[in-house]
Amino acid sequence: MSGAVRLQVGELAKRFGGVVAVKNMSFDLKAGEIVGLIGPNGSGKSTVMSLIMGIARANSGTIKLDGVDISGWPAHRIARSGVSIVFQHSRPLQRQTVLENVKLALLPDSLLRLATEASVGERAREIAERVGLGGVLHRHPWTLPFADLRRMELAKAVARDPKVVLIDEPFAGLTPTEIKVFSDLIRTLRDEGRAVLLVDHSVKSVAALADRVIAMYLGERIAEGSADEVMQNETVRRVYIGGKIEAVERKSAGAGQAPTLLQLDAVEVFYGKTKALDRVDLRVRQDEFVSIVGLNGAGKTTLFNAISGLVPYRGAIRFGERDLRSQTAASIARGGVVHCPETRELFVHMSVRENLDLGGGHLSKSERQRQLDWVFDLFPILEQRQAQAARTLSGGEQQMLALGRALMMQPKLLILDEPTLGLAPVILGQLSKAIERLRQERSLTLLLAEQNVTFALPHSDRVYVLDHGRITWQGDPVRFAEEMSTGYL
């Protein structure tokens, strides 16, 4: 079914400051082949895509298109040579119609062609009709449903007859019926002899479509083969679920009787028309460590953002005696609900010490010093790196700094969102030890979101499972191991 090698990626490497995003990545893409590039959040798959497209520049390695090395070329030249991309989020021209948006993709890169040729209009119409936009050619993008916007992006990407098509999260936000239509469209691309690379975070969503799947983790390839082979692969299972699920029974002193610290009742969050959280009820008691597990896109981060006052929501969120609804994000944080986000949000141009001092900005001098000593004791590497700019730290060190900065705020409730994101196993061990020490040394309540269940379970008194914005299961970690370990992926 597949033909000549179109795209050859060799020994590709990319660093952002101290963070290694991609290393030693090599693979081929043949004509008439659909390849799925999968990996959990932060594994480097999107970076690989930007490197191929020329949006970011690789530190080393080669990218060959039909044998010609295109690495280091500007994006527009790579596009002209036959690579195109369907972005997950796009900003179409809102004042122009769908047809004009598609026409744009067909225009020559010239400063002198003021008028569009008639053939361009015809061709644009033809392409738009092929992807099913025939009925909405003269509408404006902002009047279209989401699926049609995705069609328009697809139309733009295939307009100039590319040899290689990169598609970022092809099915995100689509209904099952729409997914079927899109799968058929993508198959047509393959049948026309194009090489297609689908980038997605889960194997399942590309399994039916991909001829071959490459799994990435920590910037490297960890498995390659058919979708089934990759799903069965031990390493893949370990990075997605965190390996064998083992529960540790917690001996929490009287957590069952402690007063409720955080209480969520029927919390709902909408992004435009999409419901991201659906009637979530949640209780966290004083000194309890609670985990929320769920795959990417389940709504974990949205839930945390609602608690921290960063997104508007319906329903009620109470912290101790206080109703958090009417409070700003800043006053919620000062009240003791400290959020350590998945994106870390470090002040990257400031030094490690300055980041920590900002966290402890409201403390008295002596208290701040005590807190700082404790954070340095928890993460000795931060003490050595005090004067270094945060951006130059490695990914693991940045996570430690983010956690350290959150602890400097002396949280009553610490909200920790995916601390394991994109981190190597050895770092996970260190983080795990640090979290264990938090429980022993401080009076602290923890709300932890994780995709990596193995990391989360040993630290949990209770577990909630979040799936598509709903709480689908709750119980203690022992029961989780018994009931959920098979059905989770």
Partner 1 sequence: MAFLRSRLFWIAAAVVVVAALLPFWVSIYLLSVLTAAYYFGVFAMAWDLLFGFAGEVNFGPTFLIGLGAYTAAILNSTAGLPIPVCVVAGALAAVAGGILLAVPALRLRGPYFGLVTLVAVLLLQNFVVIFASVTGGEIGMTVPDVLSIDASVNYWYALAFLVVCAALLFGLSRSAVGLILQASGQDAVEAAALGFNVTKHKVAAFCVSALFSGTAGAMLIFYMGTASVDTVVDIAIGVQIIIAAVLGGRRTILGAALGAVFLIVANEFLRPLGQLNTFVVAAIALAVILFFPEGLLGYALHRGERE
Binding site for partner 1 (CB under 8 A): 53-55, 74-77, 79-80, 84-85, 87, 90-91, 93, 95-97, 100, 103-105, 107, 109-116, 138, 140, 156, 160
Please give the helix or strand (H or E) that residue 267 lies within, else none.
strand 260-271
- 3-class DSSP state for residue 197? strand
Looking at residue 109, its amino acid is D
Give the nearest distance from C-beta 120 to partner 1 in angstroms.
Answer: 8
Q: In whole angstroms, what is the distance from residue 401 CA to residue 390 CA? A: 8
**Geometric angle at alpha carbon 31, from 102 and 146, rounded to 5°:** 35
Give the nearest distance from C-beta 32 to partner 1 in angstroms.
Answer: 23
H-helix segments, 31-117: 45-53, 75-80, 98-106
Please give the helix or strand (H or E) that residue 376 lies within, else none.
helix 365-378
Choice between 137 and 329, CB closer to partner 1 = 137
Give the nearest distance from C-beta 75 to partner 1 in angstroms.
Answer: 4
Give the nearest distance from C-beta 207 to partner 1 in angstroms.
Answer: 27
Give the nearest distance from C-beta 46 to partner 1 in angstroms.
Answer: 13
Give the nearest distance from C-beta 51 to partner 1 in angstroms.
Answer: 13
Choice between 117 and 345, CB closer to partner 1 = 117
Choice between 119 and 366, CB closer to partner 1 = 119
In Å, how far are 45, 159, 166, 226, 427 from 74, measured between CA atoms?
Answer: 20, 20, 17, 33, 36
Choice between 119 and 326, CB closer to partner 1 = 119
Q: Which residue has the tokens 């299972």?
A: 237
Give the nearest distance from C-beta 168 to partner 1 in angstroms.
Answer: 11
Write the DSSP symbol of residue 351: B
Widest CA span in the chain: 77
Q: In whole angstroms, what is the distance from residue 422 CA to residue 217 CA? A: 7
Contact between 300 and 41 under an 8 Å Cβ cutoff? The reply is: no
Choice between 84 and 233, CB closer to partner 1 = 84
Give the nearest distance from C-beta 16 to partner 1 in angstroms.
Answer: 16
Choice between 68 and 330, CB closer to partner 1 = 68
Q: What would the DSSP string read from start to end of 12-32?
A: EEEEETTEEEEEEEEEEEETT
Contact between 224 and 230 under an 8 Å Cβ cutoff? The reply is: yes
CA atoms within 13 A on the CB side of 109: 8
Choice between 99 and 290, CB closer to partner 1 = 99
Choice between 138 and 251, CB closer to partner 1 = 138
Choice between 115 and 330, CB closer to partner 1 = 115
Q: Residues with Cβ < 8 Å from 117, sequence gap 6 or more?
A: none
Q: In whole angstroms, what is the distance from residue 199 CA to residue 50 CA? A: 11
Give the nearest distance from C-beta 104 to partner 1 in angstroms.
Answer: 5
Tokens of 50: 């930007």
